[in-house]
Amino acid sequence: MEKRDLIYEGKAKRLFSTDDANLVIAEFKDDLTAFNGAKKDNESGKGALNNKISTELFKMLAKNGVESHFVEMLDDTHMLCKKVDIILIEVIVRNIATGSLSKNLGIPDGKVLPFTLVEFDYKNDALGDPKLNDQHCLILELVKNEAELDQLRAMAREVNSILRPYFHDKGLNLVDFKLEFGRDKDGKIILADEISPDNCRFWDLETGEKMDKDRFRQGLGGLKVAYEEVLNRILG
């Protein structure tokens, strides 16, 4: 598969066209950003870890019936993906309160939520990814109708119902995560982006240690060791 033109550069990945109009190559970068790009760093090897972790998780989800844009891992930092039109909604799934939920609503950090919360954020850096309700999504024409919003929520809950016990078996508490979805060439909504410690929060079940990007956000250090540990536990 030939890597051609750069078609998009995000904070953590670059996307390249290929010789097949229906396929793109995602390159996982070592760049780290937080607080909508206000805090920046670079951690050598981080991109490769996220590529490997996402590959394993997309494969595992596929075995459990969840379709994604993942096609195959090409090398340490490159993933071959189906080309999709990204839906500009970040779907946030929360099992335990922390982060912006605790900050915005005063729910104690670490409180187990009575049910899994699914929220929508606008994928829009210039606006700082604000929260959206269903009506906002429709007014902004981010989806075609209300049924598609229900579909996004249902798919996100399905992913959570697979990932949460999977990580529990590996000694990790899946606290919350962000998913992105896109439309494939037939207009079907499928899972896209990545699933990695950059966009999930994992707490060690025994020690409560943070094993995700909060190590960078909160200046705790040891980010790469934590991501390596997540990969090792996934690989068993």
| Nearer to ligand C5P (CB atom), residue 24 or residue 211 | 211
The amino acid present at 189, given as its one-letter code, is I
DSSP state of 19: S
The minimum distance between CB 184 and ligand C5P, in angstroms, equals 22
Bridge partners of residue 151, in order along the sequence: none
* Beta carbon nearer to ligand C5P, 119 or 229: 119
Q: What is the binding site for ligand C5P (CB under 6 A)?
A: 90, 92, 99-101, 129, 176-178, 199-201, 213
Q: Which residue in the shown chain puts its C-beta closest to ligand C5P?
A: 99
The CA-to-CA distance between both ends of the chain, in Å, stands at 30
Q: How far is the CB of 60 from ligand C5P (least distance, A)?
A: 19
What is the DSSP secondary-structure string of 177-209? EEEEEEE-TTS-EEEES--STTTEEEEETTT--
Between 23 and 231, name the residue whose CB sits nearer to ligand C5P: 231
CB of 224 to ligand C5P, least distance (A): 17
Q: Min. distance of Cβ 56 from ligand C5P in angstroms?
A: 18
Check: CB of residue 79 under 8 Å from CB of residue 90. Answer: no
Q: Which is nearer to ligand C5P, 80 or 91 (CB)?
A: 91
As separate numbers, helices (DSSP H) first and strands (DSSP E) second, the chain gives: 6, 14
